[in-house]
Amino acid sequence: MENQLVELNELDKKIINHLQGGFPVCEKPWDELQLTLDIPAEEIISRIEAMKEAGIISRFGPMYDAKKMGGGLTLAAMKVKTEDFDKVADVVNRFSEVAHNYAREHELNMWFVIATELPHQIEKVIADIQHITGLQVYNMPKQKEFFLGLKFEV
């Protein structure tokens, strides 16, 4: 859980800043990005992978509205001893339904999103995590959704 300051080069900044505005939805999106950014498609892909491996970005992929697709989505939190945090995070992250696992400075210090194909599957994932870790998982389903359109210029 150690934070490191990472220096981004200009190419990485250009890619991050552009892709925060959206990914082209077309037959050949990498070709379109290559033209727009004036960077070879293979280099864009390899830079994204390198930034993921370095922990600069946590994921690269689409955002789906699980509820509109008939699935379930919830925010969950756990109280995890500091010395057990990485071990518990490894267990939680093994679940394919878990995304966005992160630490917070709070009594409930591990937070993650659970997304399932069907709404009732959320409770099973929570029960399985509780069984394996021996820790309480607090289910915090959203009450209302807001779209912020948040973008961070780097």
pLDDT in tens, 82-125: 999 999 999 999 999 998 889 999 999 999 999 999 999 999 99
Alpha helices in 54-96 (DSSP H): 85-93
User: 91 with 129, same domain?
Assistant: yes
CB 92 within 8 A of CB 102: no
User: 20 with 80, same domain?
Assistant: no
User: 41 with 82, same domain?
Assistant: no
User: 48 with 76, same domain?
Assistant: no
Beta strands in 4-152 (DSSP E): 72-78, 98-103, 110-116, 137-140
Q: Tell me, what CATH number does 124's domain have?
A: 3.30.70.3460
User: 86 with 123, same domain?
Assistant: yes
Domain contains 62: no
Domain contains 80: yes
Q: What is the mean pLDDT of residues 119-133?
A: 97
Domain contains 67: no
User: 24 with 78, same domain?
Assistant: no
Look up the pTM and report it. Answer: 0.64
DSSP per position, 97-130: TEEEEEE-SSSS-EEEEEEESSTTHHHHHHHHHH
User: 38 with 87, same domain?
Assistant: no
User: 127 with 88, same domain?
Assistant: yes
Domain around 48: 10-53
Give the C-alpha separation, 14 to 57, whole Å: 14
pLDDT in tens, 9-53: 999 999 999 999 889 999 999 999 999 999 999 999 999 999 998
Q: Please count the structural domains in the chain.
A: 2
